[in-house]
């Protein structure tokens, strides 16, 4: 098929609006009403390295979870509200105890977000036991959304996928062949490092927001709910695109996506 049906085109429009929406930093700032720069100034010396290490460790544990435990389920409707509630609770803990609690809160909230992403993938026809689906679920963590400083030619959904393409292919092939993680494969390390580069930016923005005085437990919960909502939106858009790519030529879908992106100026 060379042309998308009206129904599929409407779905692609939804995906474009979700995937090319403002980044997590802009969303957090709009809610807390304070520039994140103030939070960055309050973070301790060397916080970038600490957050990078936390992010990488969290993604590594989540990758293992995805490979070992992602199974098919009879439940086909994504339980977005339940996952928001769970992440909100972990955010309340992080907001109360501050940055030191991030080492405990981040792996937990990332795992809950993965479960939510899996639900959304399943709802859009993905087979959770497939290696491609497992990697596609983890790929969602790299979609932080665009920022005002981004170069339009170097940012956005398809640019991020291009950045990850080789590592996605290698990691998928490894999981399909091995099925387990008895050893740490270079292909999986390269994949998680690349995702961590993107996801770590979002985690830094989250940490900066929680460092602002008076955020507290309630604010930490609110930020976490906003955080998971962002990645639920990214997941929905991502799996709409993947569904359409299976139905049509992938280049046709990408061309239509770019056309709609320009049309909507998102």
pTM value is 0.82
pLDDT given at position 108: 81
pLDDT along the chain (266 residues), means of 10: 87 94 81 76 81 86 72 59 53 52 76 86 89 91 66 69 93 79 74 90 82 59 80 94 94 94 76
Tell me if residue 46 falls in helix, strand or coil: coil
Closest C-alpha to 206, from 79, 87, 63, 45: 87
pLDDT given at position 153: 43
Residues 6+ apart with CB under 8 A from 118: 66, 70, 128, 137
pLDDT given at position 3: 86
pLDDT given at position 257: 95
pLDDT given at position 220: 63
Closest C-alpha to 242, from 189, 172, 174: 172
pLDDT given at position 77: 61
Q: Taking the CA of residue 91 as centre, how many other CA atoms within 13 Å lie in the half-sphere pointing to its CB?
A: 26
């Amino acid at each position: 098929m060379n042309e998308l049906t009206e129904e599929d085109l409407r779905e692609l429009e939804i995906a474009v609006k979700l995937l090319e929406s403002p980044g997590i930093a802009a969303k957090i700032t709009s809610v807390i009403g304070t520039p994140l720069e103030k939070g960055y100034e309050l973070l301790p010396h060397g916080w970038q390295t600490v957050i990078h290490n936390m992010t990488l460790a969290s993604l590594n544990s989540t990758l293992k979870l995805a490979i070992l435990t992602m199974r098919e389920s009879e439940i086909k409707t994504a339980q977005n509200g339940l996952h928001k509630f769970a992440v909100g609770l972990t955010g309340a803990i992080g907001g109360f105890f501050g940055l030191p609690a991030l080492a405990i809160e981040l792996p937990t909230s990332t795992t809950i977000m993965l479960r939510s992403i899996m639900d959304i993938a399943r709802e859009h026809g993905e087979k959770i036991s497939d290696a491609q689906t497992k990697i596609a679920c983890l790929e969602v963590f790299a979609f932080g959304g665009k920022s005002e400083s981004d170069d339009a030619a170097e940012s956005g959904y398809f640019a991020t996928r291009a950045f990850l393409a080789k590592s996605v292919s290698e990691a998928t092939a490894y999981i399909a062949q091995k099925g387990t993680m008895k050893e740490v494969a270079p292909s999986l390390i390269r994949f998680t490092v690349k995702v961590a580069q993107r996801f770590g930016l979002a985690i830094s923005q989250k940490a900066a927001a929680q460092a602002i005085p008076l955020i507290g437990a309630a604010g930490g919960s609110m930020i976490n709910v906003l955080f998971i909502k962002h990645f639920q939106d990214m997941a929905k858009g991502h799996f709409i695109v993947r569904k359409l790519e299976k139905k049509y030529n992938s280049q046709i879908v990408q061309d239509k996506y770019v056309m709609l992106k320009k049309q909507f100026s998102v």
